[in-house]
Structure 1
Amino acid sequence: MPTTLITTPTFARHSTRPWQILEEAGAGPLRPSGDVALSPGELLKYAPEADALIVGMDAITAEVMDAAPRLRVIAKHGVGVDTIDVGAARARGIPVVCAPGSNSHAVAEYTFGLLLSAARSLAASHVAVAAGGWPKLFGPQLRGKTLGIVGFGRIGRLLAGYAHAFGMELLAHDPYVPQAGIRAHGAEPAALDTLLARADAVSLHTPPDPSGTPLLDRARLAAMKQGAILVNAARGGLVDEHALADLLGSGHLGAAALDAFSTEPLPADHPLREAPRTLLTSHMAACTPEANQAMGAMVADDVVRVLAGNEPLHQAR
Structure 2
Amino acid sequence: MNKKVFITSRSFGQVSDRPLKILSQNNIEYDFKSKPSLLEEKDFLNVIDKYDALIVGADKITEKVIEKGKNLKIICKHGTGVDNIDLNAAKKNNVCVTNVAGVNSDAVADTTFGLIIDIARRLSYASNIVKCGEWTKVIGVDVHNKTLGIIGFGAIGKKVAKRALGFDMKVIAYDPFINKLPDNYDKVQLSGFQYILKNSDFLTLHIPLNKGTRNLIDEPQMSIMKKGSFIINASRGGIINEDALYKNIINGHLAGAGLDVVEKEPAKGNPLLKLDNVVILPHIASYSKEAIDSVSTTCSWNVVKKLNNETPDNIIV
Do both proteins adopt the same fold according to a TM-score greater than 0.5, normalized to the shorter chain? yes
Instruction: Normalising by structure 2, report the TM-score.
Output: 0.95
- Compute the displacement of 1:35 (Å): 4.0
Code of the residue aligned with 1:295 in structure 2: it is: V
Report the residue type matching 2:40 in the other structure.
Answer: S
Post-superposition Cα deviations, 1:96-138, rounded to whole Å, max 9, x if no partner, equal 1122211010000110000000000100011100110111111
Q: Name the counterpart of 2:120.
A: 119
CA deviation after TM superposition for structure 1 residue 270, in Å: 1.6
1:167-316 to structure 2, matched below 5 A, reads: 167-181=168-182, 184-210=185-211, 213-266=214-267, 268-316=268-316
Compare 302-311 and 198-207 and name the one that shifted more: 302-311
Which portions of structure 1, spanning 4 or more consecutive aligned residues, are displaced by more than 4 angstroms? none
Deviation string 1:60-118 (CA, Å, 9 cap, x unpaired) is 22121023222111101112222222222111111111222110100001100000000
Is contact 1:205–1:234 with CA below 8 Å preserved after alignment?
Answer: yes
| 1:211 Cα deviation after fit | 5.7
Shift of 1:187: 1.1
What is the distance in 2 between the residues matched to 1:27 and 1:99?
20
| 1:152 aligned residue | 153
**Structure 2, unpaired ranges of 5+:** none
Moved more, 112-121 or 211-220: 211-220
Cα distance in 2 for partners of 1:164, 1:211 equals 29
Change over 3 Å in CA distance of 1:41–1:134 after alignment to 2:
farther
Cα deviation, 1:235-270, whole Å, max 9, x if unaligned, reads: 00210011111111111100100001111111x322
State the shift of 1:216 in Å: 0.5
Q: Does 1:54 align with 2:55?
A: yes
Structure 1 vs Structure 2: percent identity of aligned residues?
33
- How many residues align structurally? 316
- What one-letter code is carried by the residue in structure 1 that aligns with 2:78? H
- Consecutive unaligned residues in structure 1, runs of 5 or more: none
When residues 183 and 27 of structure 1 are mapped into structure 2, their CA distance, relative to the original with a 3 A threshold, is closer
Aligned alpha-carbon RMSD (Å): 1.6
Superposition deviation, residue 182 in structure 1:
8.0
1:207-231 C-alpha deviation (Å, 9 max, x unpaired): 1233673110121122211010100
Provide the TM-score with structure 1 as the length reference: 0.95
Residue 16 of structure 1 aligns with which residue?
17
Which residue identity is paired with 2:97?
V
Q: Aligned AA for 2:281?
A: T
Distance 1:66 1:263, change over 3 A: same
In structure 1, the partner of 2:38 is 37
